[in-house]
Amino acid sequence: MANLAAVFHWQPSELKALTLDELSEFHQLAKERSTTSPKRGRQR
């Protein structure tokens, strides 16, 4: 729940309303969103 609150800026009351399946699904989305990948751009 803390990961979801940090990534999506959701309140605890919103998180408590989610089912376990929803929490799991959003947790995966939060991981994908917060993972940094190398930035593509101009090479010097």
The residue-averaged pLDDT of 8-20 equals 93
Least Cα distance to 26 among 2, 42, 36 occurs for 2
Q: How confident is the model at residue 13 (pLDDT cuts 50, 70, 90)?
A: very high
**What's the structural domain count of the chain?**
1
The residue-averaged pLDDT of 22-30 equals 93
Q: How confident is the model at residue 14 (pLDDT cuts 50, 70, 90)?
A: very high
The residue-averaged pLDDT of 20-36 equals 90
Residue 41 lies in a domain: no
Q: What share of the chain is helix, strand, coil (3-state, %, to 5)?
A: 60, 0, 40
Residue 40 lies in a domain: no
Residue 10 lies in a domain: yes
In which domain, by residue range, is 24 found?
2-32
The residue-averaged pLDDT of 14-33 equals 93
So what's the pLDDT on residue 35?
81
